[in-house]
Structure 1
Amino acid sequence: MTGFQGVIDDARECARLFRLGRDVEAGLAMIALVEAAQPLVELMQSDVQSSWNGLLGLMFNDQQAQNWLSLADYLEYEWVELLTAGQAV
């Protein structure tokens, strides 16, 4: 993963894996995705960082509940929107 666009693309790919039921592969990809996105988020304003923390909590709850479709939606829509909004500021 390289840079902002790489994180966005990887989030969409990870969401696709969850939708396909490839939860083990997607879970490993999500760990790498969070690690890649964290430094980008740390450069953003505090309100974006706070929203990021809340979103991560929701995503991890869905992962524990094995709610793969909801988790995929968070990755593909909320995650991308949050990072895009944070980059624009």
Structure 2
Amino acid sequence: MSSLEVVIEDARGCARLFRLGRDVEAGLAMVAVVEAAQPFVELMPGDVQSSWGGLLGLMFNDQQAQNWLSLADYLEYELVELLTAGQAV
């Protein structure tokens, strides 16, 4: 399993934690996911990097609003799509 695949699997695991209502544990896991994803994003084209910034903003807003289901969706679907699309470029 590549490093990127590990980040993707961790993002999905974090999303599961949010869906189970384990928001404190998931919040800590999310910090690790974002930190692990950042180096991959920095190597991607500028449009992916700007999408990353927008996605982080949306995720932060959901975290502030305690909208765990929406945050889980961003982690499981949008983040994974961004990382895999950025690798394909």
Structure 1 unaligned residues grouped into runs of 5+: none
The separation in 2 between residues aligned to 1:64 and 1:44, in whole angstroms, is 28
| CA shift for structure 1 position 32 | 0.6
Normalization by structure 2: what TM-score? 0.97
Q: Aligned residue for 2:73?
A: 73
| CA shift for structure 1 position 27 | 0.1
Normalization by structure 1: what TM-score? 0.97
SS in 1 for 2:21: coil
Q: Aligned residue for 1:49?
A: 49
- After TM superposition, the runs of 4+ consecutive aligned structure 1 residues lying more than 6 A away are none
| CA shift for structure 1 position 40 | 0.5
Alignment of 1:1-89 (within 5 A): 3-89=3-89
| CA shift for structure 1 position 59 | 0.2
Structure 2 unaligned residues grouped into runs of 5+: none
Please tell me the residue identity of whatever aligns with 1:58: L
The separation in 1 between residues aligned to 2:13 and 2:23, in whole angstroms, is 12
